[in-house]
Structure 1
């Protein structure tokens, strides 16, 4: 069954945007009566049928609805985007497929990417949500300076993954407890000692993801996998 994203669904019918209508009718060859699925990204999963197979305004009739509750453990990854945006696109796609609730983007002292447009990443997140059958679309945050970001998080459930010497707890030992976690992943040159010190001053604890030196996007995805495996199940 084909799935469509309907963030503004409200009422017994829904009209697909023109680009989606064209895709549904001309590419997918949907016709009147065909069954489809709609996701609103807020836990709503709708069954629908094509009421009018118009390639400019394809209208769907809602035939059923269920609400999927949020997952019991909230996973938040804050990551410094890589210079090569393809690698961030890959991370967003896979993180949504595995199961993440929020992704924030950090501007750090050693960041090679100083600006970021979310539009493309948001489209990738929507596509991954539909492909993986998720009912909730993760929140994607605008690029934020490191110092400003760490001032906003709850230190008890926030951790910083870095490669500097010093005592660090394995991430597997701290995720899965409490209501959720936020893990900070630095740029390709790692966080600076000053950034690490600032995080620890805020009460953010250092963690390790293992013995290997991981690429930024790999480390961020490792966090999502670890949280998915360790988090309590509904």
Structure 2
């Protein structure tokens, strides 16, 4: 199944933007009368028929609609310090979207090496992964923010901080609660500083371990996504 992204759909007829129109008509060779499917990124899944196979503005008519398509019973928010190599962060966004995630906040920590991200490019990666994995929800990507600012925000969710310091920690897989909302903090390549860990714990975050293996930042984040996905099957 080939999906197209239509975030602004609000009528029984819809015109694909030029990029999506070109892909639909020139690349996929779709013609008038063919059926294609759209998602709006907010849970809406649309079955449509091509009315006008124009490669610049392909016109569609909606013939069926499902709301809350494949909605999960939990919400996951990961706040992560992007790695120095942006390719690794992009890989995380792609895989997390495929597995299932609702919100991502890039955070700037004391030991962070990457201090700039390009949100437009990153959102395109999320969009592509959403369509490829047949999902109707577009994960929210927040702007890069300081760890100290993020930690002060109020969240109604189970809160965890994953770190590698030799201190008392619970194994995440033993603390996950099915059908509940969670936030997981994942630090930079040099880990969170002891000061940041202390602040997080004082702010209600439970210190956790992802197991005995030492994981890269992006691997740890994808592994955390997988744990929540498995426990909610």
Same fold flag (TM > 0.5): yes
Alpha-carbon displacement from aligned partner over 1:205-234 (angstroms, at most 9, x marks no partner): 100000011000000001100000113x5x
- C-alpha contact 2:171 2:210 (8 A) present in aligned 1: yes
Question: SS of the residue aligned with 1:71?
Answer: coil
- C-alpha contact 2:104 2:142 (8 A) present in aligned 1: yes
Name the residue aligned to 2:196: 195
Pair 46,156 (structure 1): closer, same or farther in 2 beyond 3 Å: closer
Separation in 2 of the partners of 1:58 and 1:213? 49
Alpha-carbon displacement from aligned partner over 1:92-139 (angstroms, at most 9, x marks no partner): 001000111111111001000011111111111111111111111111
- C-alpha contact 1:107 1:114 (8 A) present in aligned 2: yes
Equivalent runs, 1:158-173 vs 2, <5 Å: 158-173=159-174
Separation in 1 of the partners of 2:15 and 2:157? 45
- C-alpha contact 1:82 1:111 (8 A) present in aligned 2: yes
Q: Does 1:140 align with 2:147?
A: no
Separation in 2 of the partners of 1:47 and 1:112? 44
Name the residue aligned to 1:122: 123
Name the residue aligned to 2:95: 94
- C-alpha displacement at 1:2, in angstroms? 2.3
Question: SS of the residue aligned with 2:50?
Answer: strand
Separation in 2 of the partners of 1:67 and 1:155? 25
Separation in 1 of the partners of 2:108 and 2:207? 19
Equivalent runs, 1:62-81 vs 2, <5 Å: 62-68=62-68, 70-81=71-82
Pair 156,74 (structure 1): closer, same or farther in 2 beyond 3 Å: closer
- The CA RMSD over aligned residues, in Å, is 1.3
Moved more, 198-207 or 181-190: 198-207
Separation in 2 of the partners of 1:109 and 1:153? 22
Separation in 2 of the partners of 1:156 and 1:125? 23
- C-alpha contact 2:2 2:131 (8 A) present in aligned 1: no
Separation in 2 of the partners of 1:106 and 1:86? 17
Gaps of 5+ in 2: none
Alpha-carbon displacement from aligned partner over 1:60-92 (angstroms, at most 9, x marks no partner): 111110112632111111100011111111110
Question: SS of the residue aligned with 1:142?
Answer: coil
Name the residue aligned to 1:105: 106
Name the residue aligned to 1:54: 54
Separation in 1 of the partners of 2:22 and 2:77? 35
Separation in 1 of the partners of 2:193 and 2:156? 19
- C-alpha displacement at 1:156, in angstroms? 6.0
Separation in 1 of the partners of 2:192 and 2:154? 17
Gaps of 5+ in 1: none
